[in-house]
Each structure stands twice: as structure tokens, then as C-alpha cells.
Amino acid sequence: MPLHVLTRGTEPAQDRAQDREPNTPRPMNRNTPKNFIVRNVFLCAAAILITSCGTATFTKTGSDATIESLRNFELAFIDEFAVPGKKFNAAAFNAKVNEGNAKFQQDIADEKFTARRPVLIDLKAQFDADATHLRSKASQGKVTPALAAEMKKSVNKIYDHALGRQT
């Protein structure tokens, strides 16, 4: 007979009560199906919430859309008048500058967020400075492709900064 050091008694291992398999299966907990349903509903709701938040960040606020519109206007202005070899048309240039000033003034007046107004005022001052610089260069016939490229780069950098995008 083998010596059982850790157990008492002389029963073989297969006869001990704790080692036997029960004859009847344990009944399933009544709440288990409900727990699966609740867990799945929670996971679906969390997935919908996460994906909806991600897409919401791609929409622009009214203020950001205004700034983008002003950027596009100024870039188009540079494209129109910073053309090497093009004869300077003072009347068309002044009309476009007046249109830009009116656009900036209207957007500043319509801005709902008072904290954004100084940003728009700074952008208008930059437009005025760019228009003055371009008038000086274009009237003397000193517009170069490098000038136009540098002005566009500067405009994009300033507008990205105004939108809170660091470059």
C-alpha cells in the first residue's frame, strides 16, 4: 500500500470525495443572459459615442469657416495681382482692396465670439500690409514668382496660427 503523506486515511485518490466529478451539472446563473445583453448594449453605445465624437471634430465652427473664407480671398487676391510681367491695373487693384476691406469689416461685425474679433482685426491689418506691399512692387514692375510664393507662404502661416494650428 502506498504511503499518503499529505492526506489522511488510506483511500485511493480516485475514491476521495473532493476528487470526484459531480453527477449533476451546476445550473446556469439566471442573470447570465441578462449580463450578456447589458454588456453588448453598453459596448455598442460606447462604440457609437466614440465614432460620433471623432467625426464631430471635422466640422468647422462658424468662426473657423469665416477665417478660412478670408484666407481664400487673400490667396486669390495674391494670385490675381502678384503675376510677373502683368501690367498693373490700379483701378482693379483698388476695387479688390475695397472689396477685401468690406469683407473683413463685415466679418468682424458679424463675429459672435468677442475673443475672435481681435484675431480678425489683426488679419485685416495683415491684409492691408500685404496689399500695400503688393501695390508698391506691382506698380514698379518688380513682382517675381518668389515674391508671390513668399506672400502665400506668409498668409498661410498667419491664418494657420489664427486657427490655432501650429506650423
Which of 7-11, 81-85, 153-157 is predicted with the least confidence, judged by mean pLDDT? 7-11
Which grid coordinates belong to 69? 473664407
Query: What pLDDT is recorded for position 2?
Result: 57
Instruction: Decide if 104 contacts 127 (C-beta within 8 A).
Output: yes
CA distances from residue 99 to 28, 31, 107, 114 in whole angstroms, order as listed: 77, 70, 12, 23
User: Is residue 3 predicted with pLDDT exceeding 60?
Assistant: no
User: Is residue 109 predicted with pLDDT exceeding 70?
Assistant: yes
> Which pTM was predicted?
0.63
85 burial (CB, 10 Å; 0-12 / 13-18 / 19+) is exposed
Instruction: Decide if 65 contacts 113 (C-beta within 8 A).
Output: no
Instruction: Decide if 13 contacts 19 (C-beta within 8 A).
Output: yes
Alpha carbons 7 and 122: distance in angstroms, whole number: 88
Report the sign of the C-alpha dihedral through residues 141, 147, 151, 152, in that order: positive
Instruction: Decide if 131 contacts 139 (C-beta within 8 A).
Output: no
Confidence of residue 94 (pLDDT cuts 50, 70, 90): very high
Number of other residues whose CB lies within 10 A of the CB of residue 51: 10
Give the three-state DSSP class for 9. Answer: coil
* pLDDT tens-digit map of 29-82: 677 667 777 777 777 667 776 776 544 444 456 788 999 999 999 999 999 999
Query: What pLDDT is recorded for position 167?
Result: 55
Produce one character per residue of 107-145: b if its CB has 16 or more CB atoms within 10 Å, e if not.
bbeebeeeebeebbeebbebbeebbeebbebbeeeebee
Q: Which residues contact 14 (CB under 8 A, 6 or more apart)?
A: 20
- Dihedral angle over CA of 103, 106, 112, 114, nearest 10: 90
* pLDDT tens-digit map of 130-165: 999 999 999 898 999 999 999 999 999 999 999 988
Task: Tell me which residue has cell 473664407.
Answer: 69
